[in-house]
Amino acid sequence: MESLAKLDCRGRRRPGKFPRVLPHGGAAQPSIIISFTKIERRMGMNAQELAVWSMALGAIGAVAAARLADTLVRPTLAQVQGVAYHGTVFLLVFFLSGVAGELWPWLHSRRLHYAQVLAGPVCVGLSNFWIRGWLQAVQRDRIMSGVLRASSVLLPLGGLACLALPPSQQMPAAAALSLTGCAMTLWMTVRAWLMGDRLAPVMSAGCALTLPAIAGMNAIAMNVSASLGVHALLALSAALSNGLTGVVLWRRDRHEWRIREGVSPSQFDPVTKLHSGISLVQRLLKAQRRRRRTRRDGAVLAIMVFDVERIASQAGTAGVNEAFICMAARIQRHVGVVNPVGRYYDRCFVALVETIHSPAWLRTLGLRVASSLRRPMTIAGASGERIEITADIGVGVVHLTGGRQPIEDILHDAQRMAEAARGMRSRAAILDPTSGEVVPVEQANLGPRRHRHMQAVPRTV
């Protein structure tokens, strides 16, 4: 009977102390000792629960395998980060759902507890580090960049700090950290959506599904009983969140690869790898047709370079091309990788932002692009040495509404405002809706923003 008393419901020996059976049939009462060895595992998953979570892990693993195969064909840093992200999600679900304890019965309960405490904060922190790059947060928004960078460092450190708490408080503290990190990620993806990133809404949906999934899996790890239906919903949320994020990453990587490789020479500029003039006009026409249906506001930016001869005299034709490549990359970073940017002709770039949150955001967009393009660039000089140059540019911003404006009028107005911006301090101009005159974007009456957190305008150089 003593040997039977030391076995749990699955026939495994339990850690810790157990009552000793006395010869006369009574049981000696052990002293109450609170120690880490008293933390017990879940009483076990039944076959149906194990099947549900195994299917979720299979779906996550299938997405990771597909990304890995794509990485082997077109290896890039972004592809490797995508594979690492899906692998991180797999490990998070594997440990928090309890599948690890079922498949690895030899895993000591203390080690499993450590893994479950660290899984959430570490995985969410790593995800925020990668999402910061995928959203182009460094170039797009200082708040977004700072929040994601800070969370990627503080969350893993917070997970380690949770291990210093009493054992009964470690899992709740780790769960709170993980949910806080996920909430911040959701906020940042929504912020990127408001700034014109067309793929950010899908990523926001994935982050929204992550919140109940992480909350539920932490509850399971804390031995909270749940029905099979709850397990199924949590597993579905985890798999859908991973799948939606995978779709966004795949579309971003495919877009960048097409630009880099130049799939169709007639559609992309051979120097900058941006859309050619013809391809850009086609994209504008399609966007205007969509705008007639959706009634969403958008924007077109024209960026004109006025001092090409001066750059050519200092750096030659190769230096001019290198300067154009640098400017093209800066423009693409600020408008987002999913918004098309093209070289309309040799000295004029045009960018289409398909969705903007409010007209007042055009002020921020114009100032950011102009400020970025006016920063010095380091290119190869005519004699081979590296030299630093500053381009003379002008940015014209056109507000798109309703989809009724002819494309040729839009492009003409954008170029006209870019030329006028050359004589303005900020080098960014827009048509004031009140006066009907071309004015600097910082002076235009564009109305208030719709959210307080979008009111900060970056300082111009």
pLDDT at 452 over 90: no
Lowest mean pLDDT, pick from 47-56, 267-276, 344-353, 424-433: 267-276
Question: Once rounded to an integer, what is the mean pLDDT over residues 413-423?
Answer: 92
Are 235 and 343 contained in the same domain? no
Average pLDDT for residues 77-100, to the nearest whole number? Answer: 89
Question: Once rounded to an integer, what is the mean pLDDT over residues 35-62?
Answer: 74
308 & 348 share domain: yes
Q: Tell me which residue range forms the domain holding 433.
A: 264-454
Ramachandran angles phi, psi of 378, nearest 5°:
-105, 120
At 127-137, the pLDDT tens digits run 989 888 888 77
- Percent of the chain clearing pLDDT 90 (strictly above): 33
Amino acid, res. 278 = I
Task: Look at residue 139 in the predicted model and tell me its pLDDT.
Answer: 65
Per the prediction, the chain carries an average pLDDT of 81
Sheet holding 341-345, edge to edge: 341-345, 348-353, 298-305, 393-400, 428-431, 438-440
For residue range 255-264, what is the model confidence (pLDDT) as tens digits? Answer: 777 655 544 5
Single out the residue of 296, 317, 299 nearest to residue 308, CA to CA. Answer: 317
Q: Are residues 303 and 373 in the same domain?
A: yes
* Measured distance CA(360)–CA(235) in Å, rounded: 41
CA-to-CA distance for 136 and 150, rounded, in angstroms?
16
pLDDT score at 44? 64
Per-residue burial over 213-234, b = 16 or more CB atoms within 10 Å of its CB, e = otherwise? bbbbbbbbbeeeeeeeeebbbb
The structure tokens 């190769």 sit at 318
Q: What is the pLDDT of residues 295-318, one digit of tens each?
A: 788 899 999 999 888 888 888 888
- Judge whether 41 lies within some domain: no
User: In whole angstroms, what is the distance from residue 147 CA to residue 132 CA?
Assistant: 9
Lowest mean pLDDT: which of 60-64, 266-270, 401-405, 438-442?
266-270
**Cα 358 to chain centroid, rounded:** 22
Looking at the structure, tell me whether residues 353 and 367 fall in a common domain.
Answer: yes
The verdict on residue 39 lying in a domain is no
Distance (Å, rounded) from C-alpha 181 to C-alpha 218? 14
Residue 26 has pLDDT above 60, yes or no: no
For residues 431 and 311, state if they share a domain: yes
Nearest to 96, CA basis, from 171, 10, 188, 167: 171
Q: How many domains does the chain have?
A: 3
| Residue 258: predicted pLDDT | 65
